[in-house]
Structure 1
Amino acid sequence: VTVSVLYWKRSPPSPPPTITMSMFKPLKIGAIEAPNRFFMAPLTRCRATEDGHVPTDMMVEHYAQRASAGLIIAEATMVQDGHSAFLSEPGVYSPEQVAAWRKVTDAVHAKGGRIFLQIWHGGRACVPINTGIDTTVAPSAIRIELHGVQPEFNKTGEKIDYTTPRALETEEVPQVVAHFVAAAKNAMAAGFDGVEIHGANGYLLDQFWRASSNQRTDRYGGSIENRQRLTLEVVDAVAAAIGADRVGIRLSPLNSYNGMQDPEPEKITELMCAELQKRGIAFVHVMRGDFFKQQQGDVVAAARRGFKGPIVANMFYTPEEAEEQVASGLVDAVAFGTKFLANPDLPERVKAGSPLNEADPKTFYTRGAEGYTDYPAM
């Protein structure tokens, strides 16, 4: 059920931000040039079809409205049928999905925009009751216990527990890599300018990377080098398939969402980013905080020590702080989530000093146009 009155209609807008010009400078990011440093972060919004996970015309309108972003990173998109963590999330593994995504990319490009697709496997965070798979998979048979599956994300309509996953066999791991490669190729066929590999927020690649969810004793577990191996294998294979200059990756070394912890977040970030530097990918996208504020550390600085290419930072930024960090050279761009959700013309609003709409959390995951395509531009 959607809410009849949007939050931005009930509450006063945020005061207009005041920034200088660094955020409006173009940025070479791999094979493309972003016209500004206001990137749109990938946001799960549950607006694809429930059966088939096909992008809808509503999604075409939503992304086209936000084409003035320096780069749109479209939402987490399934690389393998059945392995979804949410209802009505899109995939990119079927011809029907590819054709529907082409409508999105055509609409964004027609407005002069640039768009990458975030490709993603949920691992143990997937919900079998939604798709009928027998079991979820993960590096180790460790269930998510920090929180359950919220009512809006499963077919029961009630909060339920996550299932205990099955640990992937060593010989199965190349199949995971192959799914990411196929998804990347399909994304390019659908007209995307590149892909962002989802290595964050407690999903499959992150589950291998961080210690709390990985108790393996094979070449994919134990040392930091072993735990980051799968992610780097995916990066290498995807880069070989579509070009390293069209590949980015998202990391969340501090985020405890989906029951994630690591005792050395800054160390694993610097080591991972040093390996990514060798590969010459387009960008590294770093989430700097923790949804639950359980872990702390300066992971953006750690990423910069390891990676000398474009760093995109995310989480809880104001336009003013984004300007400060871009001007200092600590980061090269900032990805905004809820601010782009509520302000389709975010760069123009900031440049004009116009007040910002406030986002309405009640419509984040509802299925309709309300709270999705009806936030006003200036």
Structure 2
Amino acid sequence: MDLLFQPLTLGALTLPNRILMAPLTRCRAEADHVPGDLMAEYYAQRASAGLIIAEATMAMEGNSAFWKEPGIYSEAQIAGWRKTTDAVHAAGGRIFLQIWHGGRACHPLLNNGRQPVAPSPIAITDDEVRTPQGKQPYTVPRELHDEEIPGIVAGFQQAAKNAQAAGFDGVEVHGANGYLLDEFLRDGSNQRTGAYGGIIANRARFMLEVIDAVCTVWGSDRVGLRISPLNSYNSMIDSDPIGVCTWLATKLNEFNLAYLHVMRSDFAQQQQGDVLTPIREYYQGTLIGNMGYSPEEANAAIAAGKVDAIAFGSLFIANPDLPERIQHNAAFNPPNPATFYTPGPEGYTDYPTLASAALAEPV
């Protein structure tokens, strides 16, 4: 596992290892989407990651898709996130914030009756959304008007400023998993015409405008982007995912980002293909792979030059000391999916570390 523990220059940062924590929605925010002490404890427990990428966080008010996800648009949220960044930094870690707009995955019951927006009026049909009234079908979104887009770009820019005020080390723009920017990028959800529809250059325009705006706040060397070209989650599909990857990877070279974070496959295994190879061929920056890697495969992928680092998801949920466990070839705690989105510390901050397990053993 030697390569996983080699330092990595990632934009303005130098990471002590290449074992990154992927952004993971956990629905533990307090009232008004404010991060609290429990979230600070959770992230600080995982500070040995080369980089923590914090969970999807609402860039602007009124776009909730998970009921109890955090935001970064109010002073209370900025102060709440400061608890997390202070705790992570005190533990020696580094942390980016993933800024996000839920698009058509938002629901009126979570947003005071507000209809969600999307590139086209096409609803998510493959799942239901959790609300205070139980699981509900997704609603048909309203088509976003071209003249509304600059306001959302400005919202992302303000979110980037707020993330700075909260003490983060950088931000990741969420362009994956069927949320607003991804909805514009892929032709299964974007069936509009005009400046933001049709050819890939137009469909990617919104995402690139957001990246450009965020980079004016942080500098590009503290900005990352996450994409999921094959993931069908949230009823997503594209007719040419390889073509999208190739075009986007080439275009992103103009930005000199800290990294490009790629979800390599499909949760539901509906869409198949190899997107990492063409991205690696055309993208000149730091490439992070994600989805289903074992530590052994991660080390081999870095050795083969396929990626520069790996972001682990469920392994980090259940193993706050994941780098130490990998380094010592220790057994992993199994994650409990039943507690992924439930309130409180169970399945969140109560997974044992190697050190705590040793202390609990009888003498």
Question: What is the identity, as a one-letter code, of the residue corresponding to 1:63?
Answer: Y
Question: Where do 5+ consecutive residues of structure 1 fail to align?
Answer: 1-19
SS at match of 2:69: coil
| In structure 2, distance between residues paired with 1:145 and 1:216 | 19
Question: What is the identity, as a one-letter code, of the residue corresponding to 1:156?
Answer: Q
Q: TM-score, normalised by structure 2?
A: 0.96
Q: Is 1:203 aligned to residue 179 of structure 2? A: yes
8 Å CA contact retained: 2:260, 2:286: yes
Count of aligned pairs: 354
8 Å CA contact retained: 1:83, 1:133: no
The corresponding residue for 1:115 is 95
The corresponding residue for 2:249 is 273
Residues 140-155 of structure 1: pairs in structure 2 closer than 5 A: 140-149=120-129, 153-155=130-132
| In structure 1, distance between residues paired with 2:162 and 2:280 | 31
CA shift for structure 1 position 270: 1.5
1:302-338 Cα shifts (integer Å, max 9, x gaps): 2112211111110010000000001111100000000
Give 1:73's match in structure 2, choosing from 32, 38, 53. 53
SS at match of 1:325: helix
| In structure 1, distance between residues paired with 2:55 and 2:128 | 22
SS at match of 1:117: strand
| In structure 2, distance between residues paired with 1:175 and 1:332 | 35
CA shift for structure 1 position 82: 1.3
Q: Is 1:366 aligned to residue 333 of structure 2? A: no
1:156-193 Cα shifts (integer Å, max 9, x gaps): 12x31111111111100101101110001100110000
Give 2:72's match in structure 1, choosing from 86, 89, 92. 92
Question: What is the identity, as a one-letter code, of the residue corresponding to 2:324?
Answer: E
Question: What is the identity, as a one-letter code, of the residue corresponding to 2:258?
Answer: A
The corresponding residue for 1:126 is 106
8 Å CA contact retained: 2:107, 2:114: no
Larger RCO: 1 or 2 (CA < 8 Å, sep 6+): 1
CA shift for structure 1 position 22: 0.4
| In structure 1, distance between residues paired with 2:244 and 2:177 | 15
Q: Is 1:259 aligned to residue 240 of structure 2? A: no
Give 2:23's match in structure 1, choosing from 42, 56, 61. 42
Residues 1-378 of structure 1: pairs in structure 2 closer than 5 A: 20-49=1-30, 51-149=31-129, 153-157=130-134, 159-378=135-354
Question: What's the % identity of the aligned pairs?
Answer: 58
SS at match of 2:302: helix
CA shift for structure 1 position 211: 0.4
8 Å CA contact retained: 1:31, 1:246: yes
| In structure 1, distance between residues paired with 2:92 and 2:12 | 16
1:271-303 Cα shifts (integer Å, max 9, x gaps): 111111111000000000101111011111121
The corresponding residue for 1:14 is none
| In structure 2, distance between residues paired with 1:101 and 1:248 | 19
| In structure 2, distance between residues paired with 1:218 and 1:133 | 29
RMSD (Å), alpha carbons: 0.8
